[in-house]
Structure 1
Amino acid sequence: MRVLAGELTVHNYNYYTLDNPVISDAEFDLLYDELIRLEQESGVVLPESPSLRVGGEVLKGFDTHRHRARLWSLDKAKDEDAVRAWHQRLLKGITDYNTKHPDEEPLPDPSFVVELKFDGLTLNLTYENGKLVQAATRGNGTVGESIMAQVKTIRSVPLTIPYKEGLIEVQGEGLMFLSVLESYNKTAAEPLKNARNGAAGALRNLNPKLTAERRLNAFFYNIGYSDELEFQTHNELIQFLRDNHFKVNPYVAYFSEIEEVITELHRIAVQRPEFDFLIDGAVVKVTDMRTRAALGYTDKFPRWAVAFKFEAEESTTVLESVAWNVGRTGKVTPLARVEPVELAGVTVQNCTLNNTGDIERKGLKFALGTRVFIRRSNDVIPEILGKADEEEQGEEIVYPESCPACGTALVQRGAHLFCDNRLGCKPQTIARITHFASRDAMDIETFSVMTADQLHESCRVNDPADLYDLSYDDLIGLERFGDKKARNLLDAIEKSKDRDLASFLNGLGIPNTGKATTRMLADHYGNLDAIMAAPPEELTELPDVGGIVAESIAAFFREPLIQESIRRMRERGVKAEADRPRQAAAITDSPFSGKTVVLTGTLSTMTREEAGRRLEELGAKVTGSVSKKTDYVIAGESAGSKLTKARDLGLAVIEDEQELRRLLGLDEA
């Protein structure tokens, strides 16, 4: 049992702390099941057993815990001038100390470390002779609440550590990763409003089994107390944490000048939406431990550290009204209007609500006029997370029974409302034509939603096929259409006839499909007629095509209106042909054969689509999301969150485009 517990602890460390598993999940389960069997037979559970992580009986209440060393708050800086002011106080403090202690070695000029300021729940863990013996919240900094049973459910918290010389207190932050929150909310009876509340609520819940369900994580950054340990620099402290199997965030940056620090703080603020966890700022600390000890503390804060706070990404405001918009597929979605509020540097007035199911799950059915939580990140439209006060009752959000655009009776399919008046509903028509002309579809230059609206109203363009019937005389009489604009649009429409099959399929707007699926269909069949004739059972044989997607594709091409539209377009010269011969078989001896690859960022010598096609020819599976199963991430310019996640997971990253071209067989070695 000790051997099994030891092996499982190592594998837990590799998986949850290093993100680098060395055995499969199935192999781990076999070891774990064997340990459970032995525990049940013997009636003995070792204190280091991983089975203790799953959560036991519901607790009756929290005991208090007095920390060995105080957990300090940090002084806050709201802007770069405040950081510079802190720096001046720091320099003065160092000068004063050196003046008053002429017989001591002078304190050095300060250098700095910048770390992320996590937005979760502070943890203070106590280890005695290498074993976790206590875990507590921060509380008031001196006394916190004991949450040992809850913290044991966090897989990245080591139950034992190699350091066994006495007692230490280790400080960190309990977090719920954003991807975990998203996954949790998909099936939760009561969705969580945000990741911080999800973590804090789980760790301060008296039922450890609920804590385990939240799949929390933790990052560690400080030793608050030790019997024996002494560090010369911050870097030594961080290395000690890593050596003792604590999960340390990969981001730790060192600087010698305060202006370099300020530049880095602004860079982190820009990078903030790319992290898979919440941060609300960054922390600047002096790296030299002797300087820290010499400068000491005020009544509230250490003099040798400061927290740079970012603009809030979450806030509360009043939900004023809900409008219902019709998309190109007929889906009718709610858009919330809220009382204007500043959020992440932007004035927010509109928020997404997704669908009626989303409204119900978030308890917003009777929320009009009440205060709600909203969140904005990554420059997308903000989302309403839920009511600020669950007990407050507002006016009812009334779901429409008929289409707000054309009056047709709506149909409920799943969590969504649909208008099935495909040809007579103007918003659907405008959106469908605009999508058909978009860059990733038929790429009709100069086309816009305003153009689609104007052509629909004045030229009876109700279907993409109608674009190919337009003449110069149709356009020249329209408002804002002169000779040049009319000829440019007709030339662009003519040019679009040569777009490849995958682009044409994407332009048709087949339900439940995107660029990747339409590209795969074009590559597999190489012929439009073959795709149109493919039955659902044949389509499900293709990669990443399930029953719903297969039926959507087959049903789409069975529609007489779609068949007629395609016939008209082909009759007028739209080729919709594969851009290369169908591949008989992928190359099997390339570096990418059988590998899962993700493309992100902008490439300079080719498009991502071209790179993706070449990768598939070489036997790769090109996907859109990064996970532990990803083999390679190819990162071009301005690569964002996918590159960050790849580095966090320790995946192979190709950032040299010339090296990529060589591996793709496009350039000589």
Structure 2
Amino acid sequence: MDPKLTMEQLVAELNKHNYQYYTLDAPVISDKEYDALYDQLVALEKETGMTLPDSPTQRVGGELLKGFVQHRHLAPLWSLDKAQNIEQLGSWNARAVRLVQDYNKKNPDNPLPELSYAVELKFDGLTLNLTYTNGRLVQAATRGNGVVGEGILPQIKTIKSVPLSIPYKDGTIEVQGEGIMNLSVLEEYNKTAAEPLKNARNGAAGALRNLNPKVTAERRLNAYFYNVGYSDNIRFDSHKEMMDFLRENHFKVNPYITYFDNFDDVMEQLAEIQERRSSLDYLIDGAVIKIVDMRTREALGYTDKFPRWAVAYKFEAEETTTVLESVSWNVGRTGKVTPLARVEAVELAGVTVQNCTLNNVGDIERKNLKYALGTRVFIRRSNDVIPEILGKVTEENDGGEIIYPEHCPACGFPLEMRGAHLFCNNKLNCRPQIIGRITHFASRDAMDIETFSDKTAGQLYDELNVHEAAELYELTFEQLVKLDRFGEKKAMNLLEAIEKSKGRDLASFLYALGIPNTGKSTAKMLADHYRDLHAVMKADIEELIALPDVGGIVAESIVNFFADPFVVAGIEKMLSLGVQAKAPEAPQAVKTDSFFSGKTVVLTGTLHQMTRDEASAQLEALGAKVTGSVSAKTDLLIAGEKAGSKLAKAKQLGIQVIEDEDEFIRLLNEEAN
């Protein structure tokens, strides 16, 4: 094919996607797909030595929307060159080192210092440019084309992390940052939204470029700041100075900024950020590496499009688009019937994805997916969980219909709609429900029956007619040894593990029962409070609601669960067969005069000399209150190996931190004696 014709087609397609993404805030392909097209165009331009006049490689940004007042930035907002892999990143650094060496040869009396680097997160939101004059916020704008943006001051004022005034009052400055929507905020917003948002990036961009600031306020946006792009008075010697200036002037600066003198350490930091990525409460699509020294930045300067002193390192995409091929319905241990989507195989975050979650019928309706079979949808993968479908690429009902089942796909029992979920109420004879309940009962955090799996539960159901957890305690060696793929050793091991499980404590037993809406922490709280299984079973809604972290829904779930004669009969049967459900040991007297007494303590990272649960128990015995999140009320953070965002936040808030595990253990032992 003619290279010029290919380039014309690529330019037309990329410009169409730029318009969808930047102007309409309605992308129809993922960032990963766009980057592939863009890189193809860059390669052709390099190969032919030709650049078309309207090529997106020649400009930054897109067209301006009508309805917003144009704002000319006091200094240009540069985009960043991209490094897609370690080799390209190394090339960027080698070029910077060479340029510094060349400069120093020409200026031996005033050489530039050895290179040092700042590594920051690359947010996936909308770039903001804020103008402050004599300490007051007087304008806010989008990036636009890098020279002219759109004025969005009323929208920006709704973001609580944006200061309306700052201590610095000596002239005018422009500060750049990123407007984002936290993932937890997006999740809460979508629970009640008439039109759920497809992702956090669209949520932020759509809010900031909405002509009604009330809509912006409803999205509860956040913002992080990372650059002073213009100042008519102040100058900085280093990136650290600039960041300190931003913090001192009440700008929210992300705690994940690290500094290195060795470029190999930069590489290690990038790997750590990638590991930490899935635990963050906001989207990032990479990291930014900047040279710290400002005089070096000035010496290196800019190309036509990019600064030579900074580069963006792109991570594997966590979002992409693919085709929704089919939907099947699966039955869980509680009888909940959930949809599972089969999609056209696609590479996402380093793995091939073919299955995606759809959560429930309500989720399908809210995301406009009822008529989406055969159409293109957005999907997102986070951590190692099954990817989620975020929504349709287009708004039209132009696909095949997802049919909601009326009868259980496993047992044929009529289904009941409760809230947004479908349920099969055939608890006694629905195979996947029974197998799910028995598997959960035997799991590690429950009765901890070693070597037990869902395959084992299925085999016991099919070949020995085991329908409930209590029947595990009636199994015999003669029964097990006759099963397919069950030898004498496997049979003995399973019987020994079942016998050992009889000694599990009350909290584990309560969790093993699978009480709806009751997780491990609630089960432990019930065990610690009542200290007797039958007392828990007899509790009413009023007394349960009075307990910590128990609301009306959880209390009602617990009472209804123990009101079921089938459940009660199973429990009594297990007790008669030797299950102890042992009450926890009586709580020890809490010390009131230890180093930890009265302190709110957070544990994070990996401890090697004890588990976090054991550390929590010892801290509480010494009078501490152990919580899960860092806030201004936190007094002390215990940081084990690979501590992440909690450690960074604690340091930002000036909270006392113990990072040496040996020192922590010494303190515990010293105060306990």
Shorter chain as normaliser: what TM range?
0.7 to 0.9
* Separation of aligned partners in 2, 1:369 and 1:606: 52
Q: Residues 288 and 610 (structure 1 numbering): CA distance in 2 closer, same or farther, change over 3 Å?
A: closer
* Separation of aligned partners in 2, 1:642 and 1:322: 39
3-state SS of the aligned residue for 1:359?
helix
* Separation of aligned partners in 1, 2:123 and 2:145: 18
Is residue 567 of structure 1 aligned with residue 572 of structure 2? yes
Deviation at 1:70, TM superposition (A): 0.9
Q: Which amino acid aligns with 1:604?
A: H
3-state SS of the aligned residue for 1:181?
helix
* Separation of aligned partners in 1, 2:521 and 2:496: 28
> In structure 2, what is the equivalent of residue 74 of structure 1?
80
3-state SS of the aligned residue for 2:288?
strand
Q: Residues 654 and 187 (structure 1 numbering): CA distance in 2 closer, same or farther, change over 3 Å?
A: farther
Deviation at 1:662, TM superposition (A): 6.2
- Uncovered stretches (5+) of structure 1, i.e. residues with no partner: 1-58
- Uncovered stretches (5+) of structure 2, i.e. residues with no partner: 1-64
> In structure 2, what is the equivalent of residue 516 of structure 1?
521
> In structure 1, what is the equivalent of residue 608 of structure 2?
604
Deviation at 1:106, TM superposition (A): 2.1
Is residue 185 of structure 1 aligned with residue 190 of structure 2? yes
Is residue 91 of structure 1 aligned with residue 130 of structure 2? no
Q: Which amino acid aligns with 2:82?
A: K
State how 1:352-391 maps to structure 2 within 5 Å: 352-391=357-396
3-state SS of the aligned residue for 1:301?
coil
Deviation at 1:654, TM superposition (A): 5.3
Is residue 408 of structure 1 aligned with residue 410 of structure 2? no
| Structure 2 counterpart of 1:139, from 138, 144, 147 | 144
* Separation of aligned partners in 2, 1:263 and 1:363: 42
The CA RMSD measured in Å over matched residues stands at 2.5
Q: Which amino acid aligns with 2:202?
A: N
3-state SS of the aligned residue for 1:468?
helix
| Structure 1 counterpart of 2:500, from 495, 498, 506 | 495
> In structure 2, what is the equivalent of residue 578 of structure 1?
583
* Separation of aligned partners in 2, 1:578 and 1:434: 24
State how 1:422-433 maps to structure 2 within 5 Å: 422-433=427-438
> In structure 1, what is the equivalent of residue 557 of structure 2?
552
Is residue 282 of structure 1 aligned with residue 287 of structure 2? yes
* Separation of aligned partners in 2, 1:611 and 1:513: 24
* Separation of aligned partners in 2, 1:276 and 1:633: 20
Q: Residues 570 and 103 (structure 1 numbering): CA distance in 2 closer, same or farther, change over 3 Å?
A: closer
> In structure 2, what is the equivalent of residue 272 of structure 1?
277
CA contact (8 A) 1:631 1:652 kept: yes
User: Does 505-514 or 641-650 show the bigger shift?
Assistant: 641-650
Is residue 307 of structure 1 aligned with residue 343 of structure 2? no
> In structure 2, what is the equivalent of residue 62 of structure 1?
68
* Separation of aligned partners in 2, 1:619 and 1:405: 52
Deviation at 1:608, TM superposition (A): 3.7
Q: Residues 314 and 561 (structure 1 numbering): CA distance in 2 closer, same or farther, change over 3 Å?
A: same
Deviation at 1:480, TM superposition (A): 1.6
* Separation of aligned partners in 2, 1:277 and 1:668: 41
| Structure 2 counterpart of 1:174, from 166, 171, 179 | 179
> In structure 2, what is the equivalent of residue 38 of structure 1?
none
3-state SS of the aligned residue for 1:311?
coil
Q: Which amino acid aligns with 1:378?
A: N
State how 1:195-214 maps to structure 2 within 5 Å: 195-214=200-219
User: Does 225-234 or 143-152 show the bigger shift?
Assistant: 225-234
* Separation of aligned partners in 1, 2:66 and 2:90: 49
* Separation of aligned partners in 1, 2:646 and 2:231: 39
CA contact (8 A) 1:193 1:386 kept: yes
| Structure 2 counterpart of 1:246, from 247, 251, 258 | 251
Deviation sequence 1:210-255 (CA, Å, 0-9, x none): 1111111111111111212222211112222122222111122111
User: Does 404-413 or 646-655 show the bigger shift?
Assistant: 646-655
* Separation of aligned partners in 2, 1:281 and 1:548: 41
Q: Residues 129 and 88 (structure 1 numbering): CA distance in 2 closer, same or farther, change over 3 Å?
A: same
> In structure 2, what is the equivalent of residue 543 of structure 1?
548
Q: Which amino acid aligns with 1:80?
A: I
* Separation of aligned partners in 1, 2:152 and 2:470: 65
Deviation at 1:302, TM superposition (A): 0.8
User: Does 68-77 or 184-193 show the bigger shift?
Assistant: 184-193
The TM-score with structure 2 as length reference comes to: 0.85
Deviation at 1:297, TM superposition (A): 0.9
User: Does 164-173 or 435-444 show the bigger shift?
Assistant: 164-173
Is residue 105 of structure 1 aligned with residue 139 of structure 2? no
| Structure 2 counterpart of 1:528, from 533, 536, 544 | 533
Deviation at 1:399, TM superposition (A): 0.9
Q: Which amino acid aligns with 1:354?
A: N
CA contact (8 A) 1:275 1:645 kept: no
Deviation sequence 1:576-616 (CA, Å, 0-9, x none): 121313x4986666666677665555443444444445555
CA contact (8 A) 2:82 2:314 kept: yes
Deviation at 1:117, TM superposition (A): 1.1
* Separation of aligned partners in 1, 2:314 and 2:375: 28
* Separation of aligned partners in 2, 1:93 and 1:72: 20
